[in-house]
């Protein structure tokens, strides 16, 4: 258990940040799953910009690696463009 005042504060801050990070990451993962499950091109194309924005925000804040963000965006864009061809 922490004894110093600053250690206790740091633990409180880390706990709050962990919860916030988990919320944003989980929300984004759910949005990605929903987008991948969509078979309608128009619906997927309208949701894609919002999902890409969520991924960009996670990468910008350092919650996910920038290369992972790029890979996710690329894969989702390919999926949506593939729906148009089908």
Structural domain includes residue 29: no
Closest CA to 73 of 56, 61, 86, 57: 56
Spatial contact of 76 and 58, defined as CB atoms under 8 Å apart = no
**What is the pLDDT at residue 2?**
84
Residue 61 pLDDT exceeds 90: yes
| Contact predicate 13/5, CB 8 Å | no
Please check the confidence at residue 85 and state whether its pLDDT lies above 90. no
Residue 30, pLDDT above cutoff 80: yes
Is residue 5 domain-resident?
no
Residue 65 clears pLDDT 90, i.e. is over it: yes
Provide the residue range defining the domain that includes 49.
40-86
Distance separating alpha carbons of residues 6 and 19, to the nearest angstrom: 20
Residue 86 has pLDDT above 90, yes or no: no
Decide if 31 is inside a domain: no
**Domain count along the chain:** 1
């Amino acid at each position: 258990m922490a004894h110093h005042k600053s250690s206790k504060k740091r633990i409180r801050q880390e706990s709050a940040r962990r919860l916030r990070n988990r919320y944003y990451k989980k929300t984004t993962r759910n949005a990605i799953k929903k987008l991948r499950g969509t078979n309608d091109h128009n619906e997927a194309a309208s949701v894609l910009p919002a999902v890409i924005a969520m991924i960009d925000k996670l990468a910008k804040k350092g919650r996910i690696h920038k290369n992972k963000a790029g890979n996710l965006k690329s894969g989702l864009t390919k999926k949506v463009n593939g729906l148009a061809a089908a």
